[in-house]
Amino acid sequence: MIALLTRDLRLAVRAGGGFGLGLAFFLIVTVLVPFGVGPETGLLARIAPGVLWIGALLACLLSLDRILALDWEDGSLDLLATAPLPMEGIVSVKALAHWLTTGLPLVLAAPLLGVLLSLPQEGYLWLLVSLALGTPALSVIGTFGAALTVGLKRGGLLLSLLVLPLYVPTLIFGAEAARRGAEGLAVQTPLLMLAGISAGAIALLPFASAAVLRINLR
């Protein structure tokens, strides 16, 4: 599993779908928002948690089609299906590789980009915590969508349409936790809901992704 994880990390960086692309998109979204809504500090402070969460979600979405597409194109996925490692483990490793190359850099960069949106000082910690709890769910859900669309020509658009509705609960509770933290309110409820979504996705979706891949590989 460690060898597979190392291989996927190298492929993600070499193929251009690693942390560089996601961070660049995240930065562009953060820079453009003040131009669109105006430079008023109070307004930017109110919308900063939601904007940063939307930017992180869309940045994760950019590289989802690469999770399984490269292995499908070169035939590696067929070899992995016959390996001793269970398909559920393979899918979990690929989701982890996606989170390490996309989700984790976004989590670390979000507080720095929050400065551009005048995020209140109280909100930085809770923004970091909410993204740390929520981005694993984005990667696992995205892996499930990638398994559904693997092998389809121009499946990137279909993948986005399938995954975005599944991302909505994570976005709602993640942005709400960051907003409440920035306003000094209690954050326990949205954080618990966010953690529950991530835990449920990690526990259940690898089995669903593995079942879908077995069907597609027949």
pLDDT averaged over 10-residue windows placed end to end, the chain, 218 residues: 79 64 90 90 93 94 82 77 84 92 92 92 95 96 91 77 94 96 94 97 95 84
C-alpha 29/C-alpha 77 separation (Å) is 34
Closest by Cα among 89, 63, 87 to 77: 87
Q: What is the 3-state secondary structure (H, E, C) of the chain?
A: CHHHHHHHHHHHHHCCCCHHHHHHHHHHHHHHHHHHHCCCHHHHHHHHHHHHHHHHHHHHHHCCCHHHHHHHHHCHHHHHHCCCCCHHHHHHHHHHHHHHHHHHHHHHHHHHHHHHHCCCCCHHHHHHHHHHHHHHHHHHHHHHHHHHHCCCCCHHHHHHHHHHHHHHHHHHHHHHHHHHHHCCCCCHHHHHHHHHHHHHHHHHHHHHHHHHHHHHCC
Q: Return the pLDDT at 7.
A: 77
Q: Return the pLDDT at 208.
A: 94
Q: Return the pLDDT at 33.
A: 92
Q: Return the pLDDT at 155.
A: 67
C-alpha 64/C-alpha 17 separation (Å) is 9
C-alpha 22/C-alpha 56 separation (Å) is 8
Q: Return the pLDDT at 80.
A: 79
Q: Return the pLDDT at 74.
A: 74
Q: Return the pLDDT at 152.
A: 78
pTM: 0.91
